[in-house]
Copies of this chain bind each other. A is one copy, B any other.
Amino acid sequence: MLKETFEPRFTDTDALGHINNTRIPVWFEGARSPVFRIFTPDLDVHNWKLMLARYEVQFHGELFYGQPVEIRTWISRLGTSSFDVSQEVWQNGERGASGTTVMVHYDHQAGKSVPLSEELRAALSALSES
């Protein structure tokens, strides 16, 4: 499991006084960078090999400005050419949000999905929940 810790920014809040719901996919995308590096080690955007198919986010409690958050990230499913990334936001020992994103191994030039090689599967498997 990957863990990333950072301080929310003031602009992440909204008028209800907590973190706005639309920030969670942004935080999750940021925390997926190590997953992206498995496919594109130098993160060169001209050599991108993934496509996002869908995501879902659940909100379990309020998240606030002023205390660090920890994003936990792991691979929760490995398909033929796609895989699921599960993620959680923790703050003060409580889980504030969780979600799953379906990523597809993709050839952007050919416009089609590409099966995950054994090498990629092994690297993704190393990012398990436990």
Contacts and interface: CB of A to CB of B under 8 A. Distances in A.
A11 B14 contact: yes
Interface of A: 6-7, 9-11, 13-18, 20-23, 25-26, 29-30, 33, 36, 42-46, 48, 51-59, 65-66, 108
A108 B16 contact: yes
Contacts of A7: 30, 33
Contacts of A57: 25, 54-56
Contacts of A45: 13, 15-17, 65-66
A75 B26 CA distance: 26
Nearest to A108: B16
A51 B62 CA distance: 10
A66 B42 contact: yes
A78 to B, nearest CB: 20
A43 B59 CA distance: 22
B33 A29 contact: no
Contacts of A18: 15
